[in-house]
Amino acid sequence: MTSSSQSNSLQRPSSAKQWMPDLALGFANLRDHKLRSFLTMLGMIFGVAAVVAMLSIGAGAQQKVMAFIEQLGIRNLIVLAKEAQNGQAYQKVRRISQGLTLTDYRVIRDNLSNIEAGTPRKRFEPSKLLPKPQQDPPVLYGVEPSYLLIAGLRVMEGRFYDATEEQSAAPVCVLGAAAKDSLFGTSEAVGQYVKLNEQWFHVIGVVVPQLAASGDTAGVPNEDSNNVIYAPLNAVRLRMEDAETWRKDEIDAVYLRLKSTDSSVTDAEIVRSILNSSHHNAGDFSVVVPAELLAQQKRTEQLFNTVMVAIASISLLVGGIGIMNIMLAAILERTREIGVRRAVGATQSDIVRQFVVEAVLISFAGGLLGLVLGFAMSELIAWFAGWSTVVTLGSILLAFLVSISVGLIFGIYPALKAARLDPVEAIRYE
DSSP labels for 256-275?
A: EEES-STTHHHHHHHHHHHH
**Which CA distances in Å does 156 have to 193, 359, 370?**
18, 59, 45
Q: Let me know whether 191 and 337 are in one domain.
A: no
Last residue of a domain, one of 205, 222, 240: 240
- Asked if 394 and 311 sit in the same domain, the reply is yes
The Cα-based distances of 278 to 84, 108, 118, 270, 351 in angstroms read 18, 11, 19, 13, 81
14 within a domain of the structure (yes/no): no
Per-residue pLDDT reduced to its tens digit, 305-353: 777 777 767 777 777 787 788 778 777 777 787 788 777 877 888 788 8
Write out the H or E segment, with its range, that includes residue 414: helix 393-419
Q: Decide if 318 is inside a domain.
A: yes
Residue 192 and residue 58 in one domain? no
Residues 57 and 190 in one domain: no
Residue 5: predicted pLDDT = 42
Q: Reply yes or no on whether the pLDDT at 18 is more than 70.
A: no
pLDDT at 136 over 80: yes
End-to-end CA distance of the chain: 53
Q: What's the domain count of the chain?
A: 3
Residues 39-97 pLDDT 10s = 778 878 888 888 888 778 777 776 666 666 666 667 788 898 887 666 677 777 778 88
pLDDT at 250: 82
Confidence of residue 422 (pLDDT cuts 50, 70, 90): confident
Q: Name which of 73, 69, 71, 78 is nearest 301 in CA terms.
A: 69
pLDDT in tens, 161-184: 999 999 999 999 999 999 999 999
Look at residue 77 and tell me if it is in a domain: no
Q: Is residue 74 part of a domain?
A: no
Are 156 and 204 contacting, i.e. CB atoms less than 8 angstroms apart?
Answer: no
Comparing 117-126, 148-157, 268-277, 376-385, which segment has the lowest mean pLDDT?
A: 376-385
Please indicate, yes or no, if residue 246 is contained in any of the structural domains.
Answer: yes
Note whether 167 and 265 are same-domain residues: no
Range scoring the smallest mean pLDDT among 19-28, 148-157, 189-198, 398-407: 19-28
Collapsed DSSP state (helix, strand, coil) of residue 122: strand
Q: Helix or strand or coil: residue 142?
A: strand
Q: Are residues 218 and 173 in the same domain?
A: yes
Q: Do 121 and 134 share a domain, yes or no?
A: no
Nearest C-alpha neighbor of 128 from the set 229, 231, 197, 202: 197
The pLDDT value recorded for residue 174 is: 96
Distant-in-sequence, close-in-space partners of 232: CB < 8 Å, separation ≥ 6: 142, 143, 144, 145, 161, 165, 166, 169, 170, 172
The model's confidence at residue 193, banded by pLDDT at 50, 70 and 90, is: very high
* Cis omega (within 30 of 0) for bond into 232: no
101 and 148 fall within a common domain: no
Q: Write down the pTM of the prediction.
A: 0.63
Q: Are residues 151 and 202 in the same domain?
A: yes
Strand partners, 255: 78, 119
Among 250, 283, 316, the domain boundary falls at: 283
Residue 324, domain member (yes or no): yes
> What's the chain's Rg over C-alpha atoms?
34
The answer to whether residue 383 is domain-embedded is yes
Mean pLDDT of the chain: 80
Looking at the fold, whether 119 and 249 belong to one and the same domain comes out as yes
Helix, strand, coil % over all residues of the chain, rounded to 5: 60, 15, 25
In whole angstroms, give the CA distance from residue 165 to residue 123: 18
Residue 9: predicted pLDDT? 41
Whole-angstrom CA distances from 287 to 79, 196, 274, 275 are 5, 30, 12, 10
Q: What pLDDT sits at residue 247?
A: 58
Helices and strands per DSSP (H, E), number in the chain:
15, 11
AA identity, residue 258: L
Same domain, 118 and 194: no
Angle at 237 between CA 233 and CA 238, to 5 degrees: 115
Q: Are residues 101 and 194 in the same domain?
A: no
Looking at the domain assignment, is residue 95 inside a domain?
Answer: yes
Q: Which domain holds residue 347?
A: 19-67+297-428
